[in-house]
Amino acid sequence: MLGLFLILPVFALYAEGLADVTPLLIGLAIGVYGLTQAVLQIPFGMLSDRVGRKPVIIAGLLIFAFGSVVAASADDIWGIILGRALQGGGAIAAVIMALAADLSREQRRLRIMAIIGMSIGFAFAVSLVLGPVLNSWIGVPGIFRLTAGLALSGIVVVLFVVPTPEKSVFHRDAEAVPGQFGKVLAEPELLRLDFGIFALHMILTALFLAYPLVLRDLGLVSESHWIIYLPVMLLAMGAMVPFIIAAESKQRMKSVFIGAVAALMLSLFGLYVFKSSLIGMAVGLLVFFTAFNLLEATLPSLIAKMAPGERKGTAMGVYSSSQFIGAFGGGLLGGWVHARFGIEGVFLFCGGVALLWLLVARGMSDPKQLSNFLLPVGSMDLQQASLLEGKLTEVDGVSQAVVIVEDGIAYLKVDLALFDEAALDPYCVSEA
């Protein structure tokens, strides 16, 4: 992910010197990885169920490295578009989640997934600061070559550091189930969240078609853009913490979420208004990333809360695909808007998308403070599973229980404030 993000703060400036370039093609080059990611990540996850996790991860990293080399060698915009599309073809996110599930016990899996999500967020924050610095040292082609090296080092880690699971099995809490797509896509609350991550990454991708150009026009050379990005990212990460606490601990998730979308919208219109002021652009970006980081953290949490436990993997698969399609759409539409209406039009476009999201999000239900809990229950028939579901829902704090016979697992929704985990011990079958 670091390799995908590193060019975001510098590519719009670099691409102006390429052959055959247009603003639309610049946007396509930045966002096209999202299209191939969205198309391939779920099929790759399913393939890994058949041939194993590590072979698919290694193949994906090789594809990613090859795409990076293609982009580094390109002397026109079309070569970079091809390279970025190939980078996205290394779509291993779903496979990595499945491998993490293979290597972790059900009760610890949510924590593992959260750590992986945090590492992606950290990679993005680092890329905004590191991208301009690396650009001044090695240029964008050098960044692509570095990205290829990172992918190859990832293969070494997979082969020699990451444990190999004794067996790979299907995990419906971490992987998509084809037969469940219809149910997930028919759930209004989940669709509202899918639209949210789609809009968020559409805005992010489109924004960086314009923002670096404004900084340059205000007299800040590209290698110094980190002077803006570093304090903004540090302050934004700190500023979001009280809101996360209010959302999760004080059960104000809906109001915090709606407020963050509104702040995102206002920051984007503010960037349009204050585009002639370097201080105004820095403050606008600070508000933007405070809201962005908050939304990026709360959206997957909301998906986990609202999706039934046995459909969580499918819901997260649709959510992740929506994110990547949003990145592709942001590049394509943002590039078109830039070509037709200039930099100012990009800021207004982003603000308009945020306004639409605000209107969609206003109708969301206030989520219940429920968490997912997986309980291994062993083999049983359908009648025994039905009886067990009834017994499990009688346990303090358990609001929903679904036993999937073929998995030998009970998928629970629990209120952690009331949940008596020890009461589940008689029903738990140890994973010896």
Question: Is residue 196 situated within a structural domain?
Answer: yes
Report the distance separating Cα 297 and Cα 243, nearest Å.
11
Q: How far is CA 98 from CA 76, 168, 248, in A?
A: 38, 8, 27
384 is written with which tokens?
């025994």
The CATH number given to whatever domain includes residue 380 is 3.30.70.100
Are 150 and 127 part of one and the same domain? yes
Mean pLDDT of the chain: 92
**Which 8-state DSSP code applies to residue 162?**
S
Q: Give yes or no: residues 334 and 392 share one domain.
A: no
Q: pLDDT by residue (tens digit) across 238-263?
A: 999 999 888 877 778 899 999 999 99
Answer yes or no: do 61 and 18 share one domain: yes
Residues 194 and 308 both lie in one domain:
yes
Residue in the structure block whose two tokens are 């067990």: 388
- C-alpha distances (whole Å) from 280 to each of 176, 218, 285, 286 are 43, 11, 9, 10
Same domain as 161, residue 236: no
- Domain contains 432: no
Within 13 Å of residue 165, how many CA atoms lie on the same side as its CB? Answer: 20
| Domain closes at, from 368, 394, 413 | 368
Q: Supply angle C-alpha 201, 203, 204, rounded to 5.
A: 60
Given 145, 175, 205, the domain boundary residue is 175
Answer yes or no: do 309 and 247 share one domain. Answer: yes
| Count of structural domains within the chain | 3
Q: What is the pLDDT of residues 404-422, one digit of tens each?
A: 888 888 898 888 888 888 8
Residues 385 and 300 in one domain: no
**Is residue 364, in this structure, part of any structural domain at all?**
yes
Per-position DSSP letters for 347-412, written without gaps between them: HHHHHHHHHHHHHHHTT-------EEEEEE-----HHHHHHHHHHHHTSTTEEEEEEETTTTEEEE
pLDDT in tens, the chain (432 residues): 898 899 999 999 999 999 889 999 999 999 999 999 999 999 999 899 899 999 999 999 999 999 999 999 999 999 999 999 999 999 999 999 899 989 887 667 777 887 888 898 899 999 999 999 999 999 999 999 999 999 999 999 999 999 998 888 888 877 888 888 999 999 999 999 999 999 999 999 999 999 999 999 999 999 999 999 999 999 999 999 999 888 877 778 899 999 999 999 999 999 999 999 999 999 999 999 999 999 998 999 899 888 887 888 899 999 999 999 999 999 999 999 999 999 999 999 999 999 999 999 999 988 887 888 888 888 898 899 999 999 999 898 898 899 988 888 889 888 888 888 888 888 888 654
Q: What is the pLDDT of residue 106?
A: 66
Q: Is 252 contained in some domain?
A: yes
Same domain flag for 422 and 364: no
Neighbours of 20 (CB within 10 A): 9
Boundaries of domain holding 404:
371-427
Q: Does residue 138 belong to any structural domain of this protein? A: yes
Q: What is the pTM for the complete model shown? A: 0.93
User: 186 and 294, same structural domain?
Assistant: yes
Residues 136 and 28 grouped into a single domain: yes
The residue among 152, 175, 198 that closes a domain is 175
Do 231 and 352 reside in the same domain of the chain? yes
Evaluate whether residue 103 is within a structural domain: yes
CATH at residue 285: 1.20.1250.20
Handedness of CA 69, 74, 80, 83 (dihedral sign): negative
Do 337 and 419 reside in the same domain of the chain?
Answer: no
Q: What's residue 1's pLDDT?
A: 87
Q: Specify if 130 maps to a domain.
A: yes
Say what the pLDDT of residue 108 is: 75
